[in-house]
Structure 1
Amino acid sequence: MDFRIFTEPQNGASYTDQLELAQAAEKLGFEGYFRSDHYLTMDDRNGGMPGPTDSWTTLAGLARETSTIRLGTLVSSATFRHPGILAIQVAQVDDMSGGRIELGLGTGWFEKEHTAYGIPFPAKRFGMLEEQLDVITGIWGTNPGKTFSYEGKHYQLSQSPALPKPVQNPLPIIIGGSGPSRTPALTAKFAAEYNAGFATIAPLKERIDRVRAACEHFDRDPATLVLSIAGTTAVGATEAQIDTRATAANSTPDALRHGGFAGTASEVVDKISELKALGFTRVYFQVMDFHDLDQLDFLAREVIPQLD
């Protein structure tokens, strides 16, 4: 299995906060540092100060100030950017990182942040997402010297030079969600990785079965798809540490034991082992306190070595 750190900077984190956490994660041997793509906090305890940071601007900076850790979004919203622009941004940041970028892409769901920043929020967005995937992969997959055109309901491109290209070919795309049919189909067609959401065990087998069935429908080997899971994290050697970290995540230890990664090292190892038995090979530890580097150290020293 491999292990990544996942953050929610919209709740209150500067670029410097994110850089320090990403560099600490890299030093401790985590495989990736990923961030959400939001412009408004859902946690009003501090008002989201100092304000939002743009995900791809941030990742561009991190690309130049890290050297080995993989970087990306979980996930970018299809409502925030035109797919042609996003294809350029992601390809450029991949070049800046030396080929360490992954693109998580979804429909977007948080209407309030769209209203706050004047971003259109259509009632129906899944068609936009599907066309964005068509456009982005079409641009990246067009041979050098050729052009790319596309005629869709939401997006039209004519004779695009389809540049620049990412360093990686193909650049990994992550799709997640719990939809019963359209999400599995898009995953099978476009994704290197399916993220099943947060670590509540009960619904996961059904979600995995649907995605694997979609792969088979499109004549794709399900084994070529990485299965990943995320979970808000509050771990520690004592119950006091666990409680403090759960509080920082605006939750409780009991809630996170059920739907995240919380408790002692042995408790978290047992839960991840259960997920591994279901077929998951990648874990995103959602860390809510950017300044609690001791929790990353605890995960790296006490949890991950037991799962190698």
Structure 2
Amino acid sequence: MSDSRQIKVGFIGAGRMATALAGGLISSGFTSAENVCASDTYESAREKFAHETGATTLEANITVAEQSDIVILAVKPQQLPDVLQELKGTITGKQLLVSIAAGSPLSLFLETLGDSIRVIRVMPNTPCLVKQGASAFARGGKATEADASLVDSLLSTVGIAVEVPESQLDAVTGLSGSGPAYIYQIIEALSDGAVRMGLPRHVATQLAAQTVKGAAEMVLETGEHPGALKDAVTSPGGTTIAGIHALESGGLRSSLMNAVAAATLRSIELGK
């Protein structure tokens, strides 16, 4: 698999996230459409996947696994045990198994398929659908550093990716997994505030969303601490410090910290 264009990638589950990932892999040149395939129990999902990616779709999960170098499990968590039983004996150390099934620990794959498999568990988030994802992944079984590098490259076609120990994936879930919902609320609230002060709704929402996007890009592009970037906007006695004081009075920072902590604890509970 030295030439990434020759890597054969198979998706078990052809839903929105699988379609987004496949599209990213193909458009980035990670691999070509003829080297991508997917299976799904729903014909409508298979048709949409094929239409949007140009890749092949199949009915049988085993066929996908047999002809792929990387097998990506993109099924709902409750479907996973049955799918793994079906793949028992087909998934070996030959393929790299990548799971994006939420809350499903590496131990589940090793117990069902054997500890000789190469498996990586991924926590993606929904902005992967627009190639702005923030994903984290953890290695299990016999997965190597080269496997981790490959998954990093794969996930980077739809955003950014970081490797963490599996024990930290619950915190990732609380931050980037659930985080888009927090940001949607912030955008909605900013828009509401602007509407209250006289802006039309469509203008307010567009400006609020672009402001969040632009501020995030500033953090990523400059590498500066968010506090330093905040200080650069905040003039003595100006409008920004008046707004920041109002946010501090409302407990914005503690509320967001509590949200991440609450979502992390709930992820731990669901994983038990």
Q: Would you say same fold, with TM above 0.5?
A: no
TM (normalized to structure 2)?
0.32
TM (normalized to structure 1)?
0.30
Q: Which has the higher helix share?
A: 2
Larger Rg: 2
Q: Which has the higher strand share?
A: 1
